[in-house]
Amino acid sequence: MKTITLPCGETVPAMGLGTWHMGERIGDPAAEARALSKGLDLGITVIDTAEMYGRGGAERVVARAIEGRRDEVFLVSKVLPHNASGEGTIEACEKSLTRMEVEVIDLYLLHWPGRYPLADTVGAFRALQRDGKIRHWGVSNFDADEMEDLWQVPGGRDCQINQVLYNLSRRGVEWDLLPWSRDHAMPIMAYSPLEQGRLLDDKALAAVAARHGVTPAQVALAWTLREDGVMTIPKASGLSHVEDNRAAWDLVLDAADLAELDRAFPPPTGKRSLAIL
């Protein structure tokens, strides 16, 4: 099972469990929690959530899923930009800890750049680390220029990961952000790796899947894992879906597969604005 190594030296699985759209009124929180627990059973021990998801509902689903299993989990959550002042970041973190019924978050991210100075947010992250409320921190939806800005902030080089939208149809990050990340040993966490299911009717994807005897979704997930330093965090709210995702962790695409997918989903030929969902 492929892993990634954070700049601090800690190794974590290269596949995680996403929770976007969990904990919402139209959902089934009990079933969602069971799916997350099943993922833990299968060795997918990274759970990614955020205060934004379900207005805190996803974090409550996580609490149900990890009850009695906290030591098995590498827990990721995020602070919204409009909460990311110095004091606001600390307050938001404490609320997330309460909703998830835990004492510490393993990796706490700024959800996207906002109006507050990065120095204030990073300062709050460092205070949370000193107080034992988070172990590590990172960012989300930062492009290469924004990562360079972060690098100039005192303590900014302690960032552990950048979570961005990355899948076969959203390859703009390959032009400059992925090279920057490789040069700076900064892992990427790919969210929405299936483009919310919109990728799965593609004929090239189906052809590659047929050759391997797997599903198009499994090919799309394996594609995000083809390079070192990239983690993928698909959401799965059902038990069979989690099992299917887990199988993609072991799938290795060959050069012919990758070439066929490149023809169907061409890599970028110039700089693009960072895509965000």
- The reported pLDDT for the residue numbered 277 is 80
- The reported pLDDT for the residue numbered 271 is 93
Sign of CA dihedral 201, 203, 205, 208: positive
Active site residue 53: yes
DSSP H helical ranges for the chain: 29-41, 57-66, 86-100, 118-130, 144-151, 177-183, 203-212, 216-224, 239-248, 255-264
In whole numbers, what is the pLDDT of the chain averaged over residues? 96
Burial code (b: 16+ CB inside 10 Å, e: under 16) for 1-13 equals ebebebbeeeebb
Average pLDDT over residues 86-115: 98
Q: Which residue type does 171 have?
A: R
Quick one: pLDDT band at residue 128, thresholds 50, 70, 90?
very high
pTM: 0.97
| For the chain, domain boundaries | 10-195+226-237
pLDDT tens digit sequence for 50-59: 999 999 999 9
Q: Return the axis-axis angle of helices 57-66 and 29-41, rounded to nearest 10°.
A: 50
- The reported pLDDT for the residue numbered 1 is 83
Q: Say which CATH superfamily domain 10-195+226-237 falls into.
A: NADP-dependent oxidoreductase domain (3.20.20.100)
Quick one: pLDDT band at residue 237, thresholds 50, 70, 90?
confident
pLDDT at 25 over 90: no
The residue from 53, 116, 166, 191 that is catalytic is 53
Question: What percent of the chain is modeled with pLDDT above 70?
Answer: 100
- The reported pLDDT for the residue numbered 211 is 96
CB-count exposure of residue 35 (10 Å: 0-12, 13-18, 19+):
buried
* 104: nearest Cα among 69, 68, 70: 70
- The reported pLDDT for the residue numbered 59 is 98
- The reported pLDDT for the residue numbered 260 is 97
pLDDT tens digit sequence for 176-213: 999 999 999 999 999 999 998 899 999 999 999 999 99
